[in-house]
Chain A
Amino acid sequence: MAAKLILRDKEYEVRPGMTLLDALKKSNILPESIIATRAGEMILEDEILKDNDVIKLIAVISGG
């Protein structure tokens, strides 16, 4: 029973039932640094994660 966050080549397993914001905090990912998508659609930080959810996180920081 888990939901999955994917950021570049890293995967984080989180407990379903928590919000995306809490899942990000638990995984030490700054909400400001990503956009979250589920099945290609953007989702907000207060979205409740469900079992077997696969959330793709798109890094927003660029520049050199």
Chain B
Amino acid sequence: MRQHKLALCKEHYLVWVPEQTERFIKKYDMFSHDERVLVAVSGGKDSLSLWDILVRLGYQADGLYIGLGIDGGIGYSSESQRLSQEFADAHSQTLHVVDVEKEYGQPIPVLAERTHRGFGKPCAVCGLTKRHVMNRIARDLGYDVLATGHNLDDEAAVLFGNTLVWEGSYLLRQGPVLPESPGLARKVKPLCRFYEREMTAYAIARGIEYIYEECPFAEGSTSIYYKEILNQLETARPGAKLTFYLRFLEARRNGLFREDEKAIRNLHPCPNCEQPTSAPGLCSFCRMIEKVDQSEILGE
């Protein structure tokens, strides 16, 4: 770990990662041992490692797997669900499963096709659906907090993209904790200060079986492109990604970005699902489902 000027053997590395995670959980006031945590699990290295770490640290952490119905010739969703379920069974943990097709009528690729969102790629629909479902399950099942496995590379790539176009409102909301607000569960990212490489090393060293194949729709994505650019920077300047992210958090804390009061005032509960939205009438997710339902009635 060149950015930390630290070299650890396997045994100590497996102690260091949970210790650091605990430090970040406390530093950013994410949650306590008395609270119930819902971990969004995709079957990938980060989310399964996060679940593993939280369980090792003694937190009350259950998993949530969202079946997206993506096949891509490799059975992507079924394989990632199998690995998530195997992890849950092996560690005697509870895994909640939401199947998008069963709950909303169609798998993600069809929802995207029917709604003509995302210019041929279902990533926007997938993100919208996952955010909606994660928040719904966290609130419906009474969890105090929703935890995702976003690592530093994920955060740095999002920050890089939003900075390139000065997306003030997104920059303001990016951080280790998104506090609870009416209709929205608290969201936390306990791995946000670990490099993606560190999390891969943790998963391998712990023997966690995760889905190695990339989502078939992720090929050529902007976020992967940004990660590659940032890795070039990191290779030349060790620590660059961590500094970029931490200095951003510091600048935000010091008031570099200002809340748009008008946008906050315009939030209201969706008349269908009751999750907050700034759009008039139904929220984006319910409008998308309504559009799919109408296209089925019209036989499109």
Complex Cα distance, B201 from A34, in Å, reads 10
**Residue numbers in B under 8 Å from A61 (CB-CB):** 153, 196, 224, 227-228, 231
**Residue in contact with B45 in the complex, picked from A34, A62, A64, CB distance below 8 Å:** A62
How many interface residues does B have (CB within 8 Å)? 32
Does B215 sit within 8 A of A, measured CB to CB? Answer: yes
A26-64: which residues lie under 8 A (CB-CB) from chain B?
Answer: 30-35, 37, 42, 44, 58-64
Cβ of B196 and Cβ of A60 under 8 Å apart? yes
Complex Cα distance, B212 from A61, in Å, reads 10
Does B278 sit within 8 A of A, measured CB to CB? Answer: no
**Residue numbers in A under 8 Å from B231 (CB-CB):** 30, 32-33, 61
**Residue in contact with B228 in the complex, picked from A30, A34, A37, A42, CB distance below 8 Å:** A30
- The answer to whether A32 and B197 touch (CB under 8 A), given A61-B224, A64-B224, is yes
Complex Cα distance, B207 from A37, in Å, reads 13
**Residue numbers in B under 8 Å from A42 (CB-CB):** 10, 201, 204-205
Does B62 sit within 8 A of A, measured CB to CB? Answer: no
Cβ of A58 and Cβ of B234 under 8 Å apart? no
Q: List 15 A-B contacts (CB under 8 A).
A: A30-B235, A31-B235, A35-B201, A37-B204, A42-B201, A60-B197, A61-B196, A61-B228, A61-B231, A63-B157, A64-B123, A64-B215, A64-B217, A64-B223, A64-B224
